Structure 1
Amino acid sequence: MKLPSFSRKVSYGAFTAGKPTVRTSVLPIDAVTIEHMAPSDQRHSSLDGYIRSIGRHYVAAVVVMTMLIGATYQTVEIALDRHSLQQDISYLTGRQFIRFQQLTNQTRAVMSASANAEMPEYIIKPMVDDVRKAIGDIRAMSTQLNELHGKLERNLLEKLNTRDAASEEMRLELAGRLEDFLKRADRVVSAKLEDRRQRYSFWGPIDFAASSDSMLMRQFSALIDSAHDSSDGSIDHARLISAVLLSLTATALILATSILFMPLLRRLRNEHRRTIDFESKLTHQAHTDALTSLSNRSSFNDALIAFFVSLERSGTGFSMLLVDLDHFKGINDSLGHPAGDAVLRHVARILQGTFRSTDIVARLGGDEFAVLLPGLADIAALEALAERAVAAIGAEFSFDGRGLPISASIGGAIAPQHAADETSLTRVADLALYAAKAKRNTAVIFDEASLARRLEENQLAAALAFAADRDEFVVYYQQKVNLQTGEHLGFEALVRWNHPRLGILPPGRFLPLVEGSHLISSMTRCVVNIAARDLKAWKAAGLRPGSVAVNLPEVLLLGRDGYDIIAAAIRANDLEWRDFAVEVTEDVFLNRGASQILETITRFRERGMSVSLDDFGTGFASLVHLRDFPFDELKIDRSFVADLGSDIRSEQIVGAMINLARNLGKRCVAEGIETKTQQDFLLQAGCEIGQGYLFAKPEPASAAVERLTVSNRGTRIASRRTMRIAG
């Protein structure tokens, strides 16, 4: 940028020995006047004239110096005003950039949440409000920026400089692109929830990634750089012009300069230092995660690109680890975001302490972290490091005096062994992470087996989407018996998937693919309807099946869906409410909608249905929960029953559970009984009901009918014997 040229003619003469000398010219006295003057009068007249001449030059000098001082002061003020406007533009552009990044993340979050059928609308609404607020903030900043640019155009120094047409064109183009993006975001949040769920479930995030992470990002960066350069140019202008003007006033203006200008110069220097500090902070914020102080996704991507450039140049390999926390959503939902934030900061500290100082640890967003390990290309060493990180994260963590269970799944890959570019390396590391998440709390380094398992899971997930419509879900029944007499008491309904190619699949094979999706509702409806039809057929045949227990997930307990599914099945098959029982897990106590769940459970019990607390001992139930929650039956998890007869601690725990249920006036059911030793211990401890392979495995309806027939025949024979004895 060229500086404006100034030329002034000053009547102060040349500089001598670094000091300005003032040329003075004494006006000549008229000769006639001199002739008529006395010598003394002539001297006085000459002196007076000289004094008057000096006075006039002094006044002229003062006026000129004052003008120079004023011109210098005014010029600095104009330059300072220009710099201040450019500083404000740079600062506001940076704020708008940061707010824009927040908007893209918030909009993606709204789309992701909207695509999740399990996500209640009352959770999505505040997210939508945040997006609307961000849109308003960005538009307000755009208005302020336009006002600042208008003021800058009216600045004298700005008028004297040649306008940077390319920068102005880029600014206008960015404003247009940004407004187009805001309209996109506004359309997303203005759409109805169902429209967002259908339209944005897949293409929405891709659309926003394309619109927010490419041209807009580059133009923001270029505009911030341009504003920074212009700000520095303003400071250079102010210094140069001040030096030129001050050099003309020289020594005579030193005092005035010291009084008037030095504070301004110090202010300019302070402004420049603040500008540098601000730019440094802005750069730091743009590449740092605010919550954990780790590198963010942008910084991580830059580092990954640099690593591949180094790989091409030196051939030195490196590794990547992707870290995803297990069940993090449950912590956020149950304990709130402060607990979630504390967990994320804790995990960040753990990762920084686990890996080398030269390794790059980043938070990609949400509960996702990533690590780049330069120079590490050995699978065994990478696996050992990943497992050490899993173990460190899994150590006990306390929040507000309460221990929180934390675990993580880690997937890893090595360049160039597994991939030769950024996209491929990320993809294979993600495949390994997916394999790790299938097991939870483990680390998996990519191999071909991981890829094969991922492809198989994808195929299963695709087929699972149509399983309910094709009536591929079937129900197996596991018997509940009286431990003392062996009498049949009822069944638990367990879902199976009759895959058209793979046959009957156990729930562990496909339920992880159902969790967190709308499929859980359709699958549960199928199970309830099948169980209702079987109950109707058994009762019509004169059998006494007892109640059939069905497991209802939290999402169906939060509203009326679960209640309506069972009510519709009862009406359609002319059944009674007591023909069904409901089983819920301890996790319902941690749900933020626990009051809604309690309301639904209460409605079931008012209808005469039995409610069981399933998998007791594996969740977060407290004595307060057990006291206040309206359940009829407590089911001891099979993990405790399995060690009866071999582990004194398990025996003590099971005994305590049975006593607790008895003291609360609840029935106690033991799951997973497989040996006579386990049955004997439970009977002796006071547990009267059980289920497990010792009595019956989960079996299809046809086998359950045979078991019911035999059980009913035995019951009738026993009844007749009792009657004969009584007679």
Structure 2
Amino acid sequence: MTGRSEPPSKPRQSVETYIRSIGRHYVNAVIVMTLLIAATYLTMLVALDRHSLQQKISFLTSNQFIRFQQLANQTRAMMRASADPNLPEHIISPMRDDIHRAIGDIRAMSGELHALDQSIGGNLLERFNPGDEIAVQLRHDLNARLEDFLERAVRIADISTEDRRQRYSFWGPIDFAVAADSMLMRQFADLIRHAHGRSGVSIDNAKLIGTGLLALIAATVILASVFLFSPLLKKLRNEHRLTMAFEKRLTLLAHTDALTGLDNRSSFNAALGNLFGELGRTGAGFSMLLVDLDRFKSINDGLGHPAGDAVLRHVARALQKTLRASDVIARLGGDEFAVLLPGIGEASALQSVAERAIEAVAADIAFEGRNLQVSASIGGAIVPDHASDEAGLMRIVDLALYTAKAGRNSTVIFDEAALARRLEQNQLSLALVLAADRNEFVVHYQPKVDLTTGTHLGFEALVRWQHPQLGLLPPGRFLPLMEGTQLIRGMTRAVVATVGRDLKAWRAAGLAPGPVSINLPEVLLVGEEGYALFAAAVRENGLEWQDFAVEITEDVFLNRSADQILATVARFRQHGLSISLDDFGTGFASLVHLRDFPFDELKIDRSFVDGIGKDARSEQIIRAMIQLAQNLGKRCVAEGIETEGQRRFLMEAGCDVGQGYHFARPQPAALAGARLPQRAAADRRPASKASVALRRIARR
């Protein structure tokens, strides 16, 4: 039994040994497969980490490229704007700030890209790839050339407007465009393309290593993939979705205005180029409108940027509802919009479209419980009737817009007459610079009278320009050219000095002129300059402060320096100088402003007076204004009275004082003085007949 029992022991031992061997191999295989799986898992993580870093580099490089394009456009726009001597500084200043902000963004992105390059250099997968000398050299060359470009942009932004105009007025934008759009554009494109290629290489390496490792554990890969690779594959899918989202976002940033959802300047330029290309191929013409908002700055500064943003979004919606789906609507920047209208080649059709757009823009805008109102000026031109290239079209449409803005809330389709008016205005603007020094500003006086008795109460001083060649020009010809400039300071100084001398002469002749009202611009109400002008006139001519009155428009309520203006007005009133609120009802004044602002006289604008006998609504508004003035204890003055019917209506409604052609036209000092009563009989300080009449009116 013992002998027969031994033979089977060997096979048993063999089986056991085989089983143990299989077990050992299985364990070894499991260990190896586990290691391979772990290696595959870690390799994929490393590859994904490198891919993620490369995607961030690609995204940041693309963003830097977009910001670079925006900086180039902003800098060219600033150079073009500086070529216009009439463009006010408050438009140039935001453009300068935008340039500095873009430069800071580009440099910050360069720092982030440098940090990412160092991070990707420490990735383990980089050891399997040759050193990326091409990317290093591309980045080095781009940074050097980009920094040179940024320094040029800084110089252009920081030099004075006059230097910028002299250096860059014509060839500057072209030279800058060449510098901005040639080598830098190619280097950006090469770097973005190379970064994308490196991203693909990292994925290919990961696939190659993963395939080799998975080939060794083919029987286990299915189960392993369920528990290990599924999260990684999901991460890959997420990375792909992120990449697609990045590309979509870049496209959106490159072609869409973030605030309004309209096309941006870049997209507009591309569409304009396409239309000109179509014109060359088929001869199909098109039209363009340039839309600029009137008094947008008053809303944006007075009510804040949220109100300004609400207005811009309203304008975008109004244009979209008014125009066709095939029309290209873009926001070029600020409050400027542009529209391309394919297939419209007649001035009458373009005029009709523009008028509908103006009407849509003028609708009330609900904002924080109040209604905002805005109007637009539109300039238009037709291709190829008015222009045959992009630069010529932009210049022509801008001329038309400039003409439209002179009247506000209007549209002008370009014609030769518009060009002639623009040239004439340019010549007038140049002559205005020397007008004050040459004593070309003269003052005419329009009397203010008691509507009940006809008694002379005082004058309003109205400026005229005695142009050397064109003769005597009314204020409507030159005052719009002075808006936003420092020229209005010199003109106002000349007016105050002239009125002071005329008052002195009248009093020396024994006449009683009464107080003379002078319109004082906002720029002279901020600080000491306006007060100093009147103090000097009083001192040099031996007058009293009560011989003057100051007229201020409603716009001062929305000025950022309203507190300083209020302090100047309070200082005037301490000396007994009367304050008149001019053009009431045409601006943005509220009852809170009327309650808090120290004024003595409320002036009803001539636009309301003209509606007397024609428009019942105007008459109702006038009655409400007069009642408001009486309730506030203020005098009420109506300007622009031209008929006896208007005078009678205003008198019966309770208005105190009037002025207008019905009583007298504005006249030079010699003619105006001939109407004055003698002081000996009618004017003994401190209680002149005019002063007594004004006090009597104030007590009504």
TM-score, L = length of structure 2 = 0.86
Change over 3 Å in CA distance of 1:539–1:104 after alignment to 2: farther
Which residue is 2:242 aligned to?
274
The 5-angstrom pairing of residues 154-553 of structure 1 reads 154-161=122-129, 167-183=135-151, 196=160, 199=163, 210=177, 214=181, 216=184, 219-220=187-188, 223-553=191-521
Distance 1:438 1:527 in 2: 24
* Deviation per residue, 1:329-374 (Å, 9 max, x gap): 1111211111110010011111111111122111111001111122
Q: 2:542: which partner in 1?
A: 574
Q: Deviations over 1:195-229 (max 9, x none)?
A: 75665678689679759953556654554454344
How many pairs align? 673
Q: Does 1:701 align with 2:672?
A: no
Mapped to 1, the partners of 2:560 and 2:250 lie a distance apart of 37
Instruction: Give the corresponding residue for 1:65.
Output: 33
Q: Cα distance, 1:104 vs. partner?
A: 7.2
| Offset, 1:539 | 2.4
The answer to whether the 8 Å contact 2:149/2:180 transfers is: no
Give 1:417 deviation, angstroms: 2.4
- Alpha carbons of structure 1 residues 542 and 211: separation in structure 2 relative to 1, 3 Å: farther
Query: In the superposition, relative to structure 1, how do residues 600 and 414 fare at CA in structure 2: closer, same or farther (>3 Å)?
Result: same
Structure 1 match to 2:595: 627
Q: How large is the RMSD of aligned CA atoms in angstroms? A: 3.5
The change in CA–CA distance for 1:428 and 1:84 in structure 2 (over 3 A counts) is: same
What residue number does 1:614 align with?
582
1:555 pairs with one of 523, 542, 545: 523
Amino acid at match of 2:527: G
Q: Against the structure 1 CA distance between its residues 687 and 53, is the aligned structure 2 distance closer, same or farther, given a 3 Å change threshold?
A: closer
Partners of 1:217 and 1:682 lie apart in 2 by 69
* Matching residue of 1:605: 573
CA displacement at 1:627 relative to structure 2: 2.9
Listed one character per residue, the Cα deviations across residues 116-150 of structure 1 (whole Å, up to 9, x for unaligned) are 998799x97x9999877765554443222112112
| C-alpha spacing 1:221/1:343, structure 2 compared with 1 (3 Å) | farther
CA–CA distance in structure 2, aligned partners of residues 552 and 433 of structure 1: 29
Equivalence for 2:691: none
User: Relative to structure 2, which stretch is displaced further, 353-362 or 259-268?
Assistant: 259-268
SS in 1 for 2:675: helix
**Residue 372 of structure 2 aligns to which amino acid in structure 1?**
L
Cα 1:662/1:596, change in 2 over 3 Å: same
Instruction: Flag the 1:451–1:134 CA change in 2: closer, same or farther, 3 A.
Output: closer
When residues 233 and 319 of structure 1 are mapped into structure 2, their CA distance, relative to the original with a 3 A threshold, is farther
Name the SS of the counterpart of 1:377 in structure 2: coil
TM-score (norm 1): 0.83
Percentage identity across paired residues of the two chains: 63
Q: Is contact 1:235-1:272 (8 Å) kept?
A: no
Which segment is superposed worse, 632-641 or 71-80? 71-80
1:409 Cα deviation from its structure 2 partner: 1.1
Aligned pair in 2 of structure 1 residues 169, 531: CA closer, same or farther (>3 Å)? Answer: farther
Q: Contact 1:116–1:197 at 8 Å: present in 2 too?
A: no
- Structure 2 Cα separation of the partners of residues 348 and 399 of structure 1: 16
Deviation at 1:585, TM superposition (A): 1.4
Q: Is the 8 A contact 2:612 2:619 kept in 1?
A: yes
Contact 2:72/2:177 (8 A) holds in 1: no
- Structure 1 residues 500 and 262 mapped into 2: Cα distance closer, same or farther (>3 Å)? same
Contact 2:511 2:678 in 1 (8 A): no
Shift of 1:293: 0.9
User: Is the 1:235–1:268 contact (alpha carbons within 8 Å) kept by the matching residues of 2?
Assistant: no
Aligned match for 1:681, one of 641, 649, 663: 649
The equivalent of 1:88 in structure 2 is: 56
Find the structure with the greater CA-based Rg. 1
- State the 1:651 CA deviation: 3.5
Q: Secondary structure, in 3 states, of the residue corresponding to 1:660? A: helix
Counterpart of 1:434 in structure 2: which amino acid?
Answer: Y
Secondary structure in structure 2 of the residue aligned to 1:39: coil
C-alpha deviations, 1:594-621, integer Å up to 9, x for none? 2222111111111111111112232333
Do the aligned residues in 2 keep the contact of 1:586 with 1:621 (CA within 8 Å)?
yes
For 1:650 and 1:246, how far apart are their aligned partners in 2? 88
Give, in whole Å, the separation in 1 of the partners of 2:521 and 2:287: 39
642-651 or 422-431, which moves further after superposition?
642-651
Give 1:57 shift: 4.5
Are 1:657 and 2:618 an aligned pair? no
Distance 1:403 1:108, change over 3 A: farther
Tell me what 2:692 maps to. none
Moved more, 537-546 or 364-373: 537-546
CA deviation vs aligned residue, 1:66-93 (integer Å, no higher than 9, x gap) = 4543443343233212201101212333
Distance 1:619 1:151, change over 3 A: closer
Seen in structure 2, the aligned counterparts of structure 1 residues 186 and 309 have a Cα distance that, compared at 3 Å, is closer
Distance 1:379 1:643 in 2: 33
Q: What letter matches 1:214 in structure 2? A: D
The CA distance in 2 between the partners of 1:540 and 1:395, in whole Å, is 56
Distance 1:294 1:715 in 2: 67
Contact 1:82/1:157 (CA < 8 Å) preserved in 2?
yes
Distance 2:111 2:447 in 1: 70
- SS where residue 317 of structure 2 aligns? helix
Q: Distance in 1 between matches of 2:29 and 2:618?
A: 103
8 Å contact kept, 2:444–2:464: yes
Structure 2 spans left out of the alignment, 5+ residues: 689-700
2:181 maps to amino acid: S
Assess if the C-alpha contact under 8 Å between 1:118 and 1:518 holds in 2.
Answer: no
Query: Structure 1: 5+ residue runs without aligned partners?
Result: 1-36, 720-727
Q: 1:217 to 1:667 in 2, by over 3 A?
A: farther
Q: Distance in 1 between matches of 2:78 and 2:390?
A: 28
Query: Using the alignment, how far apart are the partners of 1:260 and 1:696 within structure 2?
Result: 97
87-96 or 353-362, which deviates more: 87-96
Give the SS at the match of 1:322.
strand
Change beyond 3 A, Cα 1:261–1:187: same
Q: Give the drift of 1:475.
A: 1.3
Query: Structure 1: how far apart are the matches of 2:559 and 2:408?
Result: 21
Equivalents in 1 of 2:616, 2:131: separation in Å?
Answer: 85
| Cα 1:412/1:239, change in 2 over 3 Å | farther
CA contact (8 A) 1:488 1:711 kept: no
SS of alignment partner, residue 510 of structure 1: helix
8 Å Cα contact 1:94/1:282 also seen in 2: yes
- Look up the SS of the partner of 1:516 in the other structure: coil
Which moves more between the two structures, 253-262 or 392-401? 253-262
Q: Give per-residue Cα distances to partners, 1:134-177, cap 9 Å, x unaligned.
A: 65554443222112112323435445445665554332233234
Distance 2:133 2:409 in 1: 57
